[in-house]
């Protein structure tokens, strides 16, 4: 059964969805004795017992990357994929927008070159300073947003057109300024509920508080899990890393939202 494009939780009354979830939970849990939970598929509501069953399933399961599920008793896209399979959640691996498609090729090329700071931890080095210079800054500054801007700048030059991105090396400044360039913003809550709204080439924005943030490019999306291309990061997904990396993140780890320049 395909993910319905919204988080299913206690209080849900769509009888078809509730019935399918109850049948699936009954099959995968197969509990006996004191753990026994038998849900009635003919009861078309999502009540406390069903929430407990979902939490039990989450406590025993992992996502497609082998990571533990969040135990909240709600069925979002990641829990849905764990229950029904990755083929039952939205998958997006390409974009028809030429600018975004080519920007991802440029970004992927920088990851393939294994761009790194010189020396590590300095926010400096020939490539890093080229990224920063594209936004009007010199070396020594955080550069994740500059990497994103540079990738689109190179792409725009290849196409002989203007770069549509809001020019900044600041993550939150980009979020605030993007609408002035005609870009569409997708709030984190909307993306969490329905990852189908996300497409390759979009830019994610994370807010770490105190004016600090992190950003990168969405390369692909499978349900609630996405592959990204990020600068100023590391294998652990830090916002102050040492190079350009391809990473895997959960959509719900992005707490600000996504910026879409498609069609501009």
Please provide the DSSP assignment of 194-238 as one string.
-GGG--TT-EEEEEEETTEEEEEEEEEEETTEEEEEEEEE-TT--
DSSP character at residue 75: B
Alpha carbon 39 to chain centroid distance? 33
With bands split at pLDDT 50, 70 and 90, how would you rate the model's confidence at 162?
very high
Residue 34 has pLDDT above 60, yes or no: no
With contact defined as beta carbons under 8 Å apart, do 191 and 6 qualify?
Answer: no
5 pLDDT exceeds 60?
yes
CATH number for 243: 3.90.1720
Instruction: Answer yes or no: do 70 and 139 share one domain.
Output: no
Summarize the confidence of residues 35-54 as an average pLDDT. Answer: 87
Output the six-digit token pair for 7: 């988080």
3-state SS, residue 135: coil
Residue 231 in any domain: the answer is yes
Q: Does residue 105 register a pLDDT over 80?
A: yes
User: Does residue 4 sit within a domain?
Assistant: no
Return the percentage of the chain with pLDDT > 90, whole number: 90
Confidence of residue 33 (pLDDT cuts 50, 70, 90): very low
Domain match, 169 and 247 both: yes
Q: Is 188 domain-assigned?
A: yes
Closest CA to 129 of 149, 143, 148: 143
pLDDT at 29: 87
Average pLDDT, stretch 206-235? Answer: 97
- pLDDT band at 35; cut points 50, 70, 90: low
Domain membership flag for residue 9 = no
Do 125 and 186 have their domain in common? yes
Mean residue pLDDT of the chain comes to 95
Do 93 and 200 meet the contact criterion of CB atoms below 8 Å apart?
yes
Assess whether 55 and 33 both reside in one domain. yes
Show which of 89, 109, 144 is a domain's final residue.
Answer: 89
Domain end, chosen from 89, 118, 139, is at: 89
Domain that holds residue 127: 92-260
Number of compact structural domains in the chain: 2
Final residue in a domain of this structure, among 48, 70, 89:
89
Whether residues 49 and 110 fall in one domain: no
pTM score: 0.92
Supply the pLDDT for residue 36. 61
Look up residue 248 and give its two tokens. Answer: 């895997």
């Amino acid at each position: 059964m395909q993910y319905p494009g919204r988080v299913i939780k206690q209080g849900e009354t769509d009888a078809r969805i509730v019935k399918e979830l109850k049948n699936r939970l009954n099959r995968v849990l197969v509990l006996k004795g004191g753990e026994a939970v038998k849900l009635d598929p003919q009861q078309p509501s999502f009540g406390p017992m069903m929430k407990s069953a979902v939490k039990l399933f989450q406590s025993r399961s992992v996502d497609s990357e082998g990571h533990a599920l969040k135990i909240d008793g709600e069925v979002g896209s990641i829990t849905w994929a764990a229950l029904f399979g990755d083929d039952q959640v939205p998958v997006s691996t390409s974009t028809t927008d030429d600018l975004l498609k080519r920007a991802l090729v440029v970004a992927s090329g920088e990851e393939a070159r294994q761009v790194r700071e010189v020396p590590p931890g300095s926010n400096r080095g020939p490539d890093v300073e080229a990224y920063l210079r594209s936004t009007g800054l010199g070396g020594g500054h955080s550069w994740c947003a500059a990497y994103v801007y540079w990738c689109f700048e190179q792409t725009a030059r290849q196409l002989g057109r203007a770069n549509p991105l809001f020019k900044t090396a600041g993550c939150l400044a980009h979020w605030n300024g993007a609408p002035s360039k005609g870009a569409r913003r997708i709030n984190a809550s909307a993306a969490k509920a329905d990852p189908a709204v996300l497409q390759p080439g979009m830019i994610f924005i994370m807010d770490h508080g105190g004016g600090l943030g992190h950003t990168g490019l969405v390369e692909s999306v499978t349900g609630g899990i996405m592959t990204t291309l990020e600068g100023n990061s590391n294998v652990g997904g830090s916002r102050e890393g040492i190079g350009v990396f391809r990473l895997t993140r959960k959509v719900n780890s992005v707490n600000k939202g996504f910026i879409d320049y498609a069609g501009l």
